[in-house]
Structure 1
Amino acid sequence: MKHMKAFVFPGQGAQFVGMGKDLYDNSDLARELFEKANDILGFRITDLMFEGTDEDLKQTKVTQPAIFLHSVLLAKTLGDDFKPDMVAGHSLGEFSALVANGTLSFEDGLVLVSKRAMAMQKACELEPSTMAAIVGLEDDVVEKVCADIDDVVVPANYNCPGQLVISGSNEGIDKACAKLTELGAKRAIKLMVGGAFHSPLMEPARTELAEAIEATTFNQPNCPVYQNVTASAVTDPNEIRKNLVAQLTAPVRWTQTVKTMIADGATSFTEIGPGKVLQGLVKKVDRGMETNGINAYQG
């Protein structure tokens, strides 16, 4: 059987102060692209990434481009060692995956990530909202509780078996957490996020992002991307575009994505970018799967 390499890219929450500095210091290519990113964004994101505070990095408009840059530049500095048979990214990470498989250029990917971050930040400011991680219950129990609550609250991230993140209005999240705790959830913890990502409350951001995506060139990818919305392999640029827009208000089906990639022949998963979260989630889906991570300059 062919050894099929899956490369996966992390989403928001994986950022850390100092991220990417080793790339900037050691790789001419990375330094050049970092400076290009500073120009495109109109502020020195490198200063915030390398020497900012946790607070600086927590702002959605900084976090998203920072994680994207770290992941994409790591992949680019791997040169011939980067030969994916399939790619996927968790939420924001899907944009990194699309640059990695040639669907988007580096510049277009960065512009879209920046616009997405700004649009999400704006949507968060329109209505106070949040997300919560629910641990230790079956997905269908969580889905039913969300459906029975009058306020906005929906399943947002199917991370791994027994871990589902819900998203919605503050009231909706409070009611759902209380009910799910009653039903035996091991944990129901509110997350430190700006708002209700992957919920209907992101509709204003979705409309804004749709226009930007429509105006961007999407190329034929050099390997399939497994998208959050469908949890299946996609190679048609128009379909990729459509799923990318839908992603803002739809759940991230990560558990299902990993299962599909394994069913389609993935024999190893390499996480590229900050943190180790996705390696852990893959292991929870299939304990025997080979996982590794690249989160620093390889030289």
Structure 2
Amino acid sequence: MTKTAWIFPGQGSQATGMGVDLQSLPIAQTKFEQAERILGWSVLDLCQTELEKLSRTLYTQPCLYVVEAILADLMLERGHQPDLVAGHSLGEYVALYAARVFDFEAGLSLVKRRAELMDSASQGVMAALMGFDRAQLEALIDQIDGVVLANDNDLNQVVISGTSEAVEAVLSRIKAKRIVPLKVSGAFHSPLMEEAAAEFQQILEAVPFKFAKVPVLSNVEPKPAIEANVLKARLIQQMTGSVRWREISVQLAQEKVERVVEVGPGKVLTGLMKRAAPGVALSNISGFNDLPA
């Protein structure tokens, strides 16, 4: 049997029209109806609106969770099973759902509140860097207070997060092929999210977690785990902790994973995997036509 991992993308992978091709399927209809009751608005409608609105954190995160969860359920319904799961930032919630750590509605309720808290964050900024000297960047982050490595995607692609002054200080001193300021409301995955994270922790701790049916690699600790208390503790740290995706990619290769399936819109994560673990077979399940028989 081929050892397979399912990986779930996060904010940034959203696309207008995602999930629309699933709406006639019974599983999807049920999930879209459940989501509307929880959210108070239609995921299908939002996914067909202009990208600017869909890309607002308040809407992006619940929409991605719902669409990716439906795709995961359809995969499971067709008899496909992962050996491990992982998700990038918001995608970790879908990974936990796919591993049956919590049910769909509990997960969406968490994602809804997470999105609200992150959307209302007003401190700090984020910027993506591609093609840079890693040692120089790490030295600058060590020297400058108020900035952290928020997303360690691969050796040549990262996101930094922090106060506007600290981020600008790093960007003014680093040489990079490309620098992209991110259109986000605050400094996600940094200490500036501590107030929001503290409020979210109270909500998270009240939600019962089950042992995972398959091991989950978490953003803040990219080692496989199934224990409910461990997975919850890792998720509590996620809002202020770094997304260690580069290490997740390496760990999947070390776990002898032979095939990685990105479940969700786009090919961001398989693109990163291609560079980090070139010998692994990659595929994408972005919509109905990608579903295996």
TM-score by length of 2: 0.95
Amino acid at match of 2:69: V
Does 2:93 correspond to 1:71?
A: no
Q: Deviations over 1:36-72 (max 9, x none)?
A: 10001112232111x2111221211100000111111
Q: Is the 8 A contact 1:119 1:204 kept in 2?
A: no
Question: What corresponds to 1:279 in structure 2?
Answer: 270
Q: Distance in 1 between matches of 2:4 and 2:156?
A: 26
Q: Distance in 1 between matches of 2:10 and 2:79?
A: 23
Extract unaligned runs of 5+ from structure 2: none
Does 2:15 correspond to 1:22?
A: no
Q: Distance in 1 between matches of 2:233 and 2:71?
A: 27
Greater CA deviation, 160-169 or 60-69?
A: 160-169
Q: Is the 8 A contact 1:138 1:161 kept in 2?
A: no
Question: What corresponds to 1:213 in structure 2?
Answer: 204
Pick one of 174, 177, 182 that aligns with 1:180. Answer: 174
Q: Distance in 2 between matches of 1:84 and 1:48?
A: 30
Q: Distance in 2 between matches of 1:6 and 1:138?
A: 31
Q: How does 1:135-284 map to 2 (within 5 A)?
A: 135-150=130-145, 152-181=146-175, 185-284=176-275
Q: Deviations over 1:241-271 (max 9, x none)?
A: 0110101111000010111111011111000
Q: Is the 8 A contact 1:134 1:165 kept in 2?
A: yes
Q: Distance in 1 between matches of 2:62 and 2:82?
A: 22
- 1:84 Cα deviation after fit: 0.6
Q: How does 1:24-39 map to 2 (within 5 A)?
A: 24-25=23-24, 27-39=25-37
Q: Is the 8 A contact 2:32 2:42 kept in 1?
A: no
Amino acid at match of 1:177: L
Q: Distance in 1 between matches of 2:86 and 2:158?
A: 19
Question: What corresponds to 1:289 in structure 2?
Answer: 280
- 1:199 Cα deviation after fit: 0.5
Q: Is the 8 A contact 1:89 1:97 kept in 2?
A: yes
Q: Deviations over 1:110-146 (max 9, x none)?
A: 0001111111122x22x2x221112223444322211
Q: Is the 8 A contact 1:38 1:46 kept in 2?
A: no
- 1:17 Cα deviation after fit: 1.3
TM-score by length of 1: 0.93
Q: Distance in 2 between matches of 1:177 and 1:194?
A: 19
Question: What corresponds to 2:111 in structure 1?
Answer: 113
Q: Distance in 2 between matches of 1:266 and 1:205?
A: 36
Amino acid at match of 1:39: R
Q: Distance in 1 between matches of 2:223 and 2:133?
A: 22
Q: May I ask how many residue pairs the two structures share in their alignment?
A: 289
Q: Deviations over 1:136-195 (max 9, x none)?
A: 234443222112113x111011101211111111111111111112xxx22222122222
Extract unaligned runs of 5+ from structure 1: none
Moved over 4 A (4+): none
Q: Deviations over 1:169-226 (max 9, x none)?
A: 1111111111112xxx222221222221100111111111111110101011111000
Over 3 Å counting, the alpha-carbon distance change for 1:133 and 1:73 in structure 2 is: same
Q: Distance in 2 between matches of 1:170 and 1:45?
A: 33
- 1:31 Cα deviation after fit: 0.9
Amino acid at match of 2:51: D
Q: Distance in 2 between matches of 1:33 and 1:103?
A: 17
Secondary structure at 2:260 match in 1: strand
Q: CA RMSD of the aligned region, Å? A: 1.3
- 1:81 Cα deviation after fit: 3.4
